[in-house]
Amino acid sequence: MANIPTIPGTAAVQDQAIGVKMDPTAGLQLNEQIAKTVGTAADIISAYEEKKQKAVEFNISNKAYLSFTDLRQQFDQQAKTLPPDQIVAHWQEMANNWKASQVDQYGSKLSPEARQDMLASWDRAIIGARGDAQVIADRKQHAEWEGTLNLAYDKAAQSLNEDVIKATKAQGQQAVALGIKTKDQVADMDYKLDVRFQESQISSALEGSVQDKMAMQEKLKDKNQLTLIPTMRRPAFIHQLKESIAGDQARNGEMITDRIVSGDPKDWPNTEELHNEYLAGNITATREKNLMNLMSSITKRTSEETAKSNRDITSLASLQIYNHDWKNDPNPRETYKDISDQVSALPPALTKTILKEAAAKRDAALRGEIAKEKPVKSSIFKMGEKNYALGLFRPPLKKEVPEKPSGWALIDYFSKKVNQTIPATADSQWIKHSSPEAVAAAAVNYAQWQSKMREYFDGKDAKNEPYNDSEAMAYSLSITNPDLENQVTNALFGKK
């Protein structure tokens, strides 16, 4: 027997007879077995390739789903900033670009049947999302319409214009007809608009004039006006208006006060103007009265100050006229001019009187004629000149005493203060250690003394009465500032 190579898996066989070897039945059986084996392998391969293709298509389907989900998220984000009329078109553009990219990326990897199914699926998803985009656009458009209507109502409430409010309410009814708002919603908006309109009237009055606030107070007190303002809230509004009116009146009063205190009297309000301010409610009755008193007080004080100033100027001019050495004056005309400049601010009648005296002295000096005073008169004026030189016309002592002075303590107190506060009786050097204000005051006092003495003598002359030396001296002393001893005595014992 010989060993014959066999197909793996077959058993060894004995040598056969030639007849047996040539049996065709056995060959046919062998071919059939081989054919079955090959067919089975082909089926297996075909099934494997089919499952592999389906897995690829399954993976592509999942990728496409995830990509489409990202696409929707991007669109939803972008739609927030798009106008309503661009939302759908924007989605369609995004979807078409996405679909084209999917076909380019995966089209060649799909079977014809899978390609057809997947394209159909993508189209259904795109169309469905387009519906969602339309809903988003419609809602956004509706919200925009509502927002515009709400803004119109807000503007109407701020306008305080009844025609604007009426037109806005008409827009509200149109919104009901178009389905933008329900009837109840618009009715509520109309009510709130009316309430806001009435409240805005109060706010506007608070920012307006005193008259506006007063008028609003009266409206709030009338239950038939501003009917949408709750009864319980009216007192609070009235109080707020009252406080605001009081503040305005105070500020107005202060402005008029400043105008009076700091301004020129010719710019002051007159009595009628002040009363009109009160009638208009811009100031209170008390303020009107106080302002009248203020103007009267300032006018009186100004008049007194002016009169005092005029008296001082007149006295100083008279002092220069009567004390000047006209006899030895090298230029009487220049002296007259100086006196004229000095009294230029005085009332014309007073200036005329003074310049008449000065002119008489000037003309007499130019003619070389110097009138002699009567002895008594001359003596009195020489005494006054000497007293001025010794400082007796300086301002009087300002009273300085302890809060509760008593006994010797008061005398000790003044003994320490005398040299500091009381000028010496006779001090020919007083001008050197006196302030300019003190020197000027002394000159005025001296001039006023001299003017009074001249009036005294003029009165005597007018009545043709003779001069009496002791009487003239007594009068002179009565109008002269007290000396050191009298000043100390007055300060100690309170005499005036």
Token pair of 230 as six digits: 């709750």
b/e map 134-167, b = 16+ CB within 10 Å: eebbeebeeeebeeebeebbeebbeeeeeebbee
Residues belonging to the chain: 496
Domain ranges of the chain: 29-142, 303-371, 373-496
In this prediction, residue 402 carries a pLDDT of 45
Contact 315, 308 (CB under 8 A): no
Token pair of 431 as six digits: 């001008």
In this prediction, residue 213 carries a pLDDT of 92
In this prediction, residue 50 carries a pLDDT of 65
Q: Which residues of the chain have pLDDT under 50?
A: 1-14, 18-20, 397-411, 413-424, 483-485, 488-489, 491-496
Instruction: For 420-480, give the DSSP string.
Output: HHS--SS-TTTTTTS-HHHHHHHHHHHHHHHHHHHHHHHHHHHTTPPP-HHHHHHHHHHTS
- d(C-alpha 139, C-alpha 79), whole Å: 12
In this prediction, residue 378 carries a pLDDT of 79
In this prediction, residue 445 carries a pLDDT of 80
In this prediction, residue 381 carries a pLDDT of 80
In this prediction, residue 418 carries a pLDDT of 45
C-alpha 484: how far from chain center: 62
Q: What's the pLDDT tens digit per position in 195-216?
A: 888 888 888 889 999 999 999 9
Going by the DSSP 8-state scheme, the letter that residue 80 receives in this structure is T
- Look at the block and give the residue holding tokens 């009273």: 399
Going by the DSSP 8-state scheme, the letter that residue 328 receives in this structure is T
pTM: 0.42
Q: What's the pLDDT tens digit per position in 468-485?
A: 888 888 888 777 655 444
